[in-house]
Chains A and B, each alone.
Chain A
Amino acid sequence: MIDTILSNIALIIGTTLMYSTPLIYTSLGGVLSENSGVINIGLEGMMIIGAFAGAAIGYFVGDPWIAFIGAGIVGGLFGLLHAFACVTFGANQVVSGIAINFLGAGIALFLSRMLFEGATMTKSIALDNKMPRPLNGVFHDGSFLNIIFNNQYATVYLAFIMVFLIWFFMYKTKYGLRLRSVGEHPTAADTLGINVIKIRYLAVIMSGVFSGFGGAAMSLAIVSNFRPTLVSGHGFIALAAMIFGKWKPQGALLACLLFGGAQGLAVFLGQFDFEISSQLISMLPYVITIVVLIGFVGKSAAPSADGIPYEREQKN
């Protein structure tokens, strides 16, 4: 009896980790961009192009790490585009982000059709060329830890390391302080000699890199190819997680875990022969998120200068 309960708990934890991972990367991307003062609603598009790049490079090159980094670079290029509009040309950041979403989906499918004989679905990566599973076979078969970690891909562990690194960077280094000061009060930061433009550019490019990682964490690990419905809205959920996590990396992590946990619960409940429809169970993660949000007293506040283009005052 206790054994079954334990193995069920392990199963839920395992699926939680699996579902949360892509969201964690992408919401970290959101954290970086928005803390520098640039709203990034284009996470979805960056995630889509990253998922495609990861799957395509993985298929043609065969090395998951090259594919993963490639996905980050391609995502970063989209970040550069967003930064170009928002930082250099003072764009309306929401509008530019929406444009990125259309461009990400459009370019991914366009390239897929060109590279994969007219198909919008890329060819599957060979099983050996997927992300490695570092803890596969380390624990005893059927043991608690085995059920959790046996099938987790390297991207899962890397996501947690990244959260720590971003947290450390943002709150324990002077560069992190600069990043946050640019997002809170760019004029003051500029007066102190901080290069607002450069920091915003770097932050938005990195937000693209992380979103690209998030997409690749889906197409290189959870599944082994790219298809039009793969990302379908996860970028927006990562955006929601970032807001929910109060624009902080550790908060975003918790929000992603909450969402992944609800998803894990839905998968767990789905295996029983309930009278409840599986469609209703699928609603669970979204309902839980709303309920938790309502329960959360205290409004979340964005960085003060989030969404405001920075312009130096003209010298007279």
Chain B
Amino acid sequence: MKIKFKELRKNIYIFATEKTIGFTLISIFLGLVVGAIFLVAAGFNPFQAYWIMLLGIFSKPSYISYTIIRATPLILTGLSIAFAFKTGLFNIGAEGQFIIGSVAATATGYFLHLPLLIHIPVVIISAVIAAGVWGGIAGYFKAKFGVHEVISTIMLNWIALYFQNFLIYTKGFQKPGGETSYSIQPTANMMILKTWKQSEAGREWLLQHPFWKDLLRTPMNWGFIIAILMAILVWFVLNKTALGYRLRAVGFNKFAAEYGGINVNKNIIISMFIAGALAGLAGALQVVGVSHKVTLIAAMEGYGFDGIAVALIANSNALGCILAGLLFGALKYGGTKIQMFPVKAPSEVINIVIGSIVFFISIPKLIKVILSRKNKKGGTK
């Protein structure tokens, strides 16, 4: 019995230190422990808080749907940053690229009048291109003038933010009497069964089917499916194509890549274009699927910054971004539940949990030290 226990410990040690997923899971667990410590210190019951959070994520179809809707843009901004990381660039600009994507989507969604099946692709593609160019600008500055992409993307974020606010105050785009734009045309709408939901027959049917009624209460849309497809595509491009090979080579060692005949500057621009396009897609999907318009923003909304954490938790793995994005969406959406009755704890504890997870992910050594000490103790007994 004792020997088996020792085996188990050894297995945990190997799982936690030699497999990335195991290490990530332990970091997530430790992050939740830190959050619990804060809750206890502030006089709350952490078990109750986490239980309410869990119920708030899974107990109703609409909750699950909201979680997925929250996760969708984060998966994509996470992909954007993970992609840039893989190619040796740090894209802090996902925030601004997201804004450009959502502005472009709103503009093409409102001003263009196109048939149903054509409008959505046109909106999404134009948003992706606009945001890709926005990201590509930072790549161009780096390639051509040696401007550090961290600085240029931080500046471009703010320029994008004020650009969106400028457009919202522009006649023809601003909805009179509000600090928002006009809503996109119905043909550009990607919400599932939106018109049917509000029709007489739809409401009648939904009354008799509570499961579907609850589920369709949410702005459910195709965005999540698109995000998953994009993650697979990014994984494929990075790992199975010549382009991906070149981009990774530049990220791995710029000088070696150059020596090997790869045009480093061109690849920096391409990489930032793709990173921008991914973040822009997040913005576009948010508009066509959920918000249908853009509103005045006073400060950064955080899609890009949360995306950095998603990419880090996913260890910059494209497919990992799906899971990390879902975790993030669940924490963010579930976190709002603990603010309400009966727990009434500050929902900001979620940011503490997320910060702690990322912190533990940054120090694999610490976890190794803790676990190996336990192992040694187990060995001497």
Chain A nearest CB, measured from B93 CB (Å): 11
Residue B379 interfacial (CB < 8 Å):
no
Stretch of B125-133, B140-148, B260-268 contacting A (4+ beta carbons < 8 Å):
B140-148
Residue B3 interfacial (CB < 8 Å):
no
Would A233 and B159 count as touching, CB distance under 8 A?
Answer: no
Chain B residue nearest in CB terms to A282: B162
Instruction: Give chain A residues whose Cβ lies under 8 Å from the Cβ of B151.
Output: 240, 243-244, 289, 293
Would B355 and A283 count as touching, CB distance under 8 A?
Answer: no
- In B342-371, the 8 Å CB interface with A consists of 346, 348-359, 361-363, 365-366, 369
Instruction: Give chain A residues whose Cβ lies under 8 Å from the Cβ of B148.
Output: 243, 300
Would A286 and B155 count as touching, CB distance under 8 A?
Answer: yes
Chain B residue nearest in CB terms to A45: B355
Chain A residue nearest in CB terms to B348: A109
Would B298 and A229 count as touching, CB distance under 8 A?
Answer: yes
Would B159 and A287 count as touching, CB distance under 8 A?
Answer: yes
Residue A100 interfacial (CB < 8 Å):
yes
- Interface residues of chain B: helix, strand, loop or mixed (majority): helix
Would B350 and A283 count as touching, CB distance under 8 A?
Answer: no
Would A293 and B158 count as touching, CB distance under 8 A?
Answer: no
Would A293 and B152 count as touching, CB distance under 8 A?
Answer: yes
Would B352 and A106 count as touching, CB distance under 8 A?
Answer: yes
Residue B117 interfacial (CB < 8 Å):
no
What is the bound-complex CA distance between A300 and B356, given in angstroms? 33
Instruction: Give chain B residues whose Cβ lies under 8 Å from the Cβ of A236.
Output: 92, 154
Q: Which of A100, A109, A279, A299 contacts B162 (CB 8 A)?
A: A279
Q: Which of A99, A244, A282 contacts B358 (CB 8 A)?
A: A99
Chain A residue nearest in CB terms to B352: A106
A240-B145 contact in complex given A91-B362, A102-B309, A110-B348, C-beta closer than 8 Å: no
Instruction: Give chain A residues whose Cβ lies under 8 Å from the Cβ of B156.
Output: 286, 290
What is the bound-complex CA distance between A259 and B196, given in angstroms? 52
A89-B348 contact in complex given A99-B356, A102-B358, A299-B146, C-beta closer than 8 Å: no
Would A101 and B363 count as touching, CB distance under 8 A?
Answer: no
Would B155 and A103 count as touching, CB distance under 8 A?
Answer: no
Chain A residue nearest in CB terms to B167: A279
Instruction: Give chain A residues whose Cβ lies under 8 Å from the Cβ of B356.
Output: 99, 103
Chain A nearest CB, measured from B348 CB (Å): 4
Would B162 and A96 count as touching, CB distance under 8 A?
Answer: no
- In A130-174, the 8 Å CB interface with B consists of none
Q: Which of B159, B354, B363, B369 contacts A96 (CB 8 A)?
A: B363
Would A99 and B362 count as touching, CB distance under 8 A?
Answer: yes
What is the bound-complex CA distance between A81 and B346, given in angstroms? 23
What is the bound-complex CA distance between A95 and B90, given in angstroms? 11
Chain A nearest CB, measured from B15 CB (Å): 20
Residue B229 interfacial (CB < 8 Å):
no
Instruction: Give chain A residues whose Cβ lies under 8 Å from the Cβ of B158.
Output: 233, 283, 285-286
What is the bound-complex CA distance between A92 and B363, given in angstroms? 7
Would A95 and B358 count as touching, CB distance under 8 A?
Answer: yes
Instruction: Give chain A residues whose Cβ lies under 8 Å from the Cβ of B361.
Output: 95, 99
Chain A nearest CB, measured from B139 CB (Å): 14
Would B362 and A92 count as touching, CB distance under 8 A?
Answer: yes
Q: Which of A90, A106, A232, A233 contacts B349 (CB 8 A)?
A: A106
Would A293 and B358 count as touching, CB distance under 8 A?
Answer: no
Residue A126 interfacial (CB < 8 Å):
no
What is the bound-complex CA distance between A236 and B92, given in angstroms? 10
Chain B nearest CB, measured from A38 CB (Å): 12
Q: Which of A45, A102, A294 contacts B147 (CB 8 A)?
A: A294
Chain B residue nearest in CB terms to A293: B147
Residue A179 interfacial (CB < 8 Å):
no
Instruction: Give chain A residues whose Cβ lies under 8 Å from the Cβ of B238.
Output: none
Q: Which of B163, B169, B298, B354 contacts A106 (CB 8 A)?
A: B354
- In B320-346, the 8 Å CB interface with A consists of 346
Chain B nearest CB, measured from A308 CB (Å): 15
Chain B residue nearest in CB terms to A95: B362
Residue A66 interfacial (CB < 8 Å):
no
Would B162 and A85 count as touching, CB distance under 8 A?
Answer: no
Instruction: Give chain B residues whose Cβ lies under 8 Å from the Cβ of A118.
Output: 346
Would B355 and A101 count as touching, CB distance under 8 A?
Answer: yes
Instruction: Give chain A residues whose Cβ lies under 8 Å from the Cβ of B237.
Output: none
Would A243 and B150 count as touching, CB distance under 8 A?
Answer: yes
Instruction: Give chain A residues whose Cβ lies under 8 Å from the Cβ of B366.
Output: 85, 89
Q: Which of B152, B170, B305, B350 contacts A101 (CB 8 A)?
A: B305
A217-261 vs B, CB cutoff 8 Å, 1 = contact: the mask equals 000000000001100110011011001100000000000000000
Give the 6 A-B CB pairs with smallest separation, nearest first: A106-B351, A102-B355, A103-B355, A99-B359, A95-B362, A279-B166
**Residues of chain B whose beta carbon lies under 8 Å from any beta carbon of chain A:** 38, 42, 90, 92, 141, 145-148, 150-152, 154-159, 162-163, 165-166, 169-170, 298-300, 305, 308-309, 312, 346, 348-359, 361-363, 365-366, 369
20 A-B residue pairings within 8 Å (CB atoms): A91-B365, A94-B90, A96-B359, A98-B308, A102-B309, A103-B352, A109-B351, A110-B351, A233-B300, A239-B150, A282-B165, A283-B159, A285-B158, A286-B155, A286-B158, A286-B159, A287-B155, A287-B159, A289-B151, A290-B155
In the complex, besides A101-B355, A244-B151, A277-B170, 20 extra interface pairs with C-beta distance below 8 angstroms are: A85-B359, A89-B363, A95-B361, A99-B357, A99-B362, A102-B354, A102-B358, A103-B355, A103-B356, A106-B353, A113-B346, A113-B348, A232-B299, A240-B154, A286-B159, A289-B155, A290-B147, A290-B156, A293-B147, A293-B152
